[in-house]
Each structure stands twice: as C-alpha cells, then as structure tokens.
A = this chain, B = another copy of it.
Amino acid sequence: MEIETITEHQRLNAKKKLNKMFGHVNLKDMTLACPIRDVMAMASDKWSILIIMHLGYYPILRFNELKKKVYGISNKVLSERLKQLEGDGYLIRTMYPEVPIRVEYGLSDFGHSYLQKLIELTEWAQTYKDCVLANRAQYKTKKRS
C-alpha cells in the first residue's frame, strides 16, 4: 500500500490552518475549555458514530430497531447517546403518544452534514486500514529484535 506523497505545499498549508485555529489560544485553555474538543469528543464516540451511520442508511428507526442494528449496545448507553445526540442537534426525536408508545429517530440536516464528514473519514480509514495493520504487525516483530 503506497501512501500518497504529501507535498511541501500541503504541509505549509496545514501548518497555516493549525496556526489560525490554535495560534491565539494558550495551551492551557486549549485543553481545558476548547469547545471544539467538546464537539469532537461527542461526535467521535464509537457508539455515536454507529448510530449516525445507521440513521444515515435507514431514514428513521425506532429505539429497539436501533438497538438491534447497533449491535452490542445496551439500553442505558443507547438512550444516553440518543439524548446527547438529540441535544446537540444531530438527530430528531419524534414521539407518537399512542399505546404502546412509538418513538422515531432520524437525522437532522446538521446530522446529515456530519454524516458527510464521517463518511469521508471512514473512506480514508478504509483506504489505509491495511497500511495501518501492516505497520502494526511489523512493529510488533521489530520490537523483538
């Protein structure tokens, strides 16, 4: 697996962007109060990602449907994540006060916007996963020598 060469220009560009993003905050604040990190922490959670991806595939899902799709998640964690994701605006919860009660979850526009980014990142991960796994294996054997 060949990694595309990164040009000098890209490196400089990355550096410039990083400077723009973080240059003005001091290091202490950045780690303690960075709101971006809040957003990222929530958004990069393992279960949240799976929930969003499933809702990207199936337009609407109910609680127990999600529980089946997102294999291995517990009631507690699923309900926590759903609440947080709803609270952050990623998804929309619609409750139908029938008996028995029915609740449907679907992505908001914002959720779809995040889904796009997620897909890009996942495609990147998929492209390079063999590369990473090979590196890992190689690294392990190298340690022994």
Residues of A within 8 A of B (CB): 3-6, 10-11, 14-15, 17-19, 21-22, 27-28, 30-32, 35-41, 43-44, 46, 49-50, 53, 56-57, 68-72, 86-89, 109-110, 112-117, 119-126, 128-129, 131-133, 135-136, 139-140
Task: State which of B5, B35, B49, B56 has its C-beta within 8 Å of the C-beta of A109.
Answer: B5
* A4-B113, A126-B36, A133-B35 known; A57 vs B18 contact (CB < 8 Å): yes
Task: State which of B4, B114, B132 has its C-beta within 8 Å of the C-beta of A39.
Answer: B132
When all copies of this chain in the complex are counted, the total is: 2
- Shortest Cβ gap from A79 to chain B (Å): 14
- Would you call A18 and B56 a contact (CB within 8 A)? yes
- Shortest Cβ gap from A18 to chain B (Å): 5
Task: State which of B17, B32, B38, B86 has its C-beta within 8 Å of the C-beta of A72.
Answer: B32
